[in-house]
Amino acid sequence: MTVAENTRLPTYFIGHGGVSIMFKPEHEAVRQGLRELGKQIKALKPEAIVLTCGEFEGESDAIQVNFKEPTKVWHDLGPSWRKTFPHVFEYEYEHKSSRALAEKVFQHLQSQNVKVESTERDLDHGVWVPFKLMFPEGDELDVPILQISTYVGDDLNAHVELGKALSTLPGRILLIGSGMLCHNLPATRQGTSDTSIALALEAAAKNALDAPTPEERTARFLDFQKNADWIDAHPTPEHVLPLYMTLGAGHDLEGRVLTHAPRGVFARARWQSTSSIPSRATTTEIPPHNTPRLTALKTAKPFSDFLTDTFNRQHDYLRISVTERCNLRCLYCMPEEGVELSPPARLLTSPEIVYLSSLFVSQGVTKIRLTGGEPTVRKDIVPLMQRIGQLRENGLRELCLTTNGISLHRKLDPMVEAGLTGVNLSLDTLDPFQFQIMTRRKGFDAVMKSIDRILEMNKLGAGIKLKINCVVMRGMNDREILPFVELGRELPIEVRFIEYMPFDGNKWNKGKMFSYEEMLAVIREKYPSLEKVVGHKNDTSKTYMVPGFEGRVGFITSMTHNFCGTCNRLRITGDGNLKVCLFGNAEVSLRDIIRKENDGQPIDEDAFKELRLLETVQEAARLSDEGGLIPERERELLDIIGLAVKRKKEKHAGMGELENMKNRPMILIDNKKYPWPYSSSRATSRLPLHLLSSPGLSQARLYHTGRPSTQTEEAKPQKETKPTPRSLPNISDSELPHLTPSQTVHMTQITEKPETKRLATAACTVSFSNQKPWQILRKGEGTHKGDVYSVARIAGIMAAKRTPDIVPLCHPGIGITGVEVSVELVAPEADNTKDHGAMQIVATVSCFGRTGVEMEAMTATMGAALTVYDMLKAVDKGMIIGAVRLIEKQGGKSGHWIREE
């Protein structure tokens, strides 16, 4: 029986299963059910099929459309399949693909306000396995098949909305979701055959499908996440998301179960939404029934702006150094002369680490990795992990550890109980004697014991992701590349080879570096069948596998092929600095802000409770969701974090620059500054805090910004100046107080000066080189970065407060009592020297103290001016910042001074 041409096509959700359903006897009923479904689909006479599948995830905020033509079968199976069932790698499936169809779907989704991206990939087993069974050889479906992705994440309602958008595709296009109603892979490692969870989900699905209306059906399915078995059924959500796409696609159609087949920890339900409603063009959308759960999903906040940089990279992975100590002395990591250990008071305490972890998790971080030094030497590492592990209730998904493995085996069991999900183990040689040379310590047997213990626990269902990191150095351990690869012959281990990188103290020599291409050539010489494995978009490594091997091989190519474009990592150093790039030397202190309310002292357990740190994080998250004003401490931290992330560069420096760049030794990459010679000052090695104000991030009500403007006169022509001297002034220059009689620079003594009221006013001008900025600002339009006036004022205020960090001989802690910044638009006709208009900035700073605030006023104008440039550079890169000048100063020995214009 065929369906009339003007009849609405149904939508289908199918449980695709694994490749074994194609040949194992116990799956005969599944095969027959899929074959019958194939006959039904052919009778519908669709002109194309568009489907989502649990094996294909896009981005958290974007759907990917597959433009590849032609596509072929992708045998996306683990190495154990080649060993146990090699014949499945001979399976093929004849099918059609169409770039024209991909373009049609791409443009349609864009018209429905769905963010889309293009990609190219072959058909994974979630597509070709069920389709090969539905349409066997000789009875193929002669229409194009297009696979699009799901979103990354667990936003079920977003996939309902995706289905609704797809349901309005013109033409007879059949929409299919391919996934699993229950998909608990970790339980398979325990060999369980318990069907209770699968049966519970089946019963809930049947109840949902029996709903009296389609909208109630969707609401019941959205409530699935309340089910106590949800987490066990879907430790990761990707296989259930296609179900919600089909719910959206059939939001106005009736639904019924076709078949359901729970088996072990899986459930392969298939259901159909169908009706005789005429074609899509005339359907009307029925408003969904609003349950509290559905309302919450609809209003779910997007990924935190504080953790999203200007290249739209979302930073959901946080690395925290918990110690600077290590029980090894690896050649590439620890300088031969050792490192100066920080005083304990400079390092983050456990309560501070827990607080920062909870703050980042509240903003969307889902993965935390504890590093060092060597994290296992920290005395309270297990209790610390237990406290961080509790953040799983707030959205944390992965808690990982980077370790050398020396003492890991002694602490592994309680760590797993605390929530440990992944271990990156550093091991650069499989030779016990070479190990002692490379690490300057014994301990090879202890490392292997830790590896064996992880593998043993994984057999019992621990599910720890184990990766071995090996830094390859020419002439040192490059001959061991193949032995490391062969570790994976029988063991499910991923070995990742890391290109040797320059860090201070490791005696960098370009000749030591063994490149990714060279490593690949060494492996392919013995294993020419080595093949690339498609990884996750945020992977740092390029992953390969040798057919028949259990393990995999990866390459971290920081030196020759950067992976900056998908970087989602942030680092917190042992002394509490935020580091947005491993290869950058810009850092900003979070520790000092946390300790501000504790008189600058480390936060211990008593202070942790007294300051209610965890409670205020939760309160901040709640108020942020509700659009309220978050507590000042969290606001200040998030402002600084947000702007540090916004200042992250598109990519790190190339090798020629990296090898000459000053950076911490690797052992201290998450700890205090290493006192290398000729380094830049402490202040200049960090992000200047005056830059850390962001549109929409700071609460402007906290600042004084309303100073009435004064129209300055036209700048006079510059007087002829003498050439700048090439040497320091000599002893006769007694009027320069920053020079001693021996011509050395010092900060002037002010202890004997009287305290008086001081005030300084400075000004500068940002001149436009075309009409566009003036036109935008005249109309009151903001830029894509926000309100130029407000942000520039706040930037000026922040700059004034941080002047001692920028101007080396300025006195810190002078006690500023007020900062007023005026930012005004100057029309082109108001000043003939500014043909296209300008921004006039005037800043006044006041204090009661022993030294003046002229530099603070000047710095405030420049901070505001640079922010104006930053926010308008998209329309005018030719702007000129000029006429920076002091207008007036009051107080102090020199009295009252006013510029004569």
| Residues labelled catalytic | 870
Compute, in degrees rounded to 10, the torsion defined by CA atoms 580, 581, 585, 591: 30
Pairwise CA distance, residues 183 & 672, whole Å:
45
Residue 288: exposure state from Cβ atoms within 10 A (0-12, 13-18, ≥19): buried
| Bridge-based pairing state of the strands 173-179 and 11-15 | parallel
Give the pair of three-digit tokens for residue 545: 């596998």
Residue of 652, 679, 655 lying closest to 665 (CA atoms): 679
DSSP 512: G
φ/ψ (deg, to 5) at 719: -75, 155
Pairwise CA distance, residues 426 & 443, whole Å:
13
Give the pair of three-digit tokens for residue 321: 């150094």
With contact defined as beta carbons under 8 Å apart, do 421 and 465 qualify? yes
Residue of 361, 316, 306, 365 lying closest to 694 (CA atoms): 306
DSSP 770: S
With contact defined as beta carbons under 8 Å apart, do 172 and 184 qualify? no
Q: What is the enclosing helix (H) or strand (E) of 552?
A: strand 552-556
Q: What is the enclosing helix (H) or strand (E) of 778?
A: helix 772-778
Pairwise CA distance, residues 473 & 481, whole Å:
10
Pairwise CA distance, residues 314 & 537, whole Å:
12
Residue of 366, 275, 261, 378 lying closest to 326 (CA atoms): 378
First and final C-alpha spacing in the chain: 93
With contact defined as beta carbons under 8 Å apart, do 582 and 649 qualify? no
With contact defined as beta carbons under 8 Å apart, do 142 and 255 qualify? no
| Bridge-based pairing state of the strands 11-15 and 270-274 | antiparallel
The reply to whether omega before 70 is within 30° of 0 (cis) is: yes
φ/ψ (deg, to 5) at 402: -110, 125
Pairwise CA distance, residues 287 & 160, whole Å:
13
In the block, residue with structure tokens 């899929």? 34
Q: How far is CA 210 from the centre of its chain?
A: 41
Residues with Cβ within 8 Å of residue 46, at least 6 apart in sequence: 9, 143, 172, 173, 174
CA distances from 625 to 298, 619, 730, 793 (A): 13, 10, 61, 27
Cα dihedral across residues 89, 90, 93, 96: positive or negative: positive
Compute, in degrees rounded to 10, the torsion defined by CA atoms 642, 644, 650, 655: -150
Pairwise CA distance, residues 8 & 109, whole Å:
20
Q: Which amino acid is at 453?
A: R
Pairwise CA distance, residues 47 & 163, whole Å:
18
837 sits in the region (left: phi over 0; alpha: psi -120 to 50; else beta) called left
Residue 499 β-bridge partners: 472
DSSP 473: B
Order of strands across the sheet that contains 756-767: 816-826, 838-849, 756-767, 880-890, 897-898
DSSP 7: B
Pairwise CA distance, residues 59 & 658, whole Å:
31
Pairwise CA distance, residues 348 & 418, whole Å:
21
DSSP 27: G
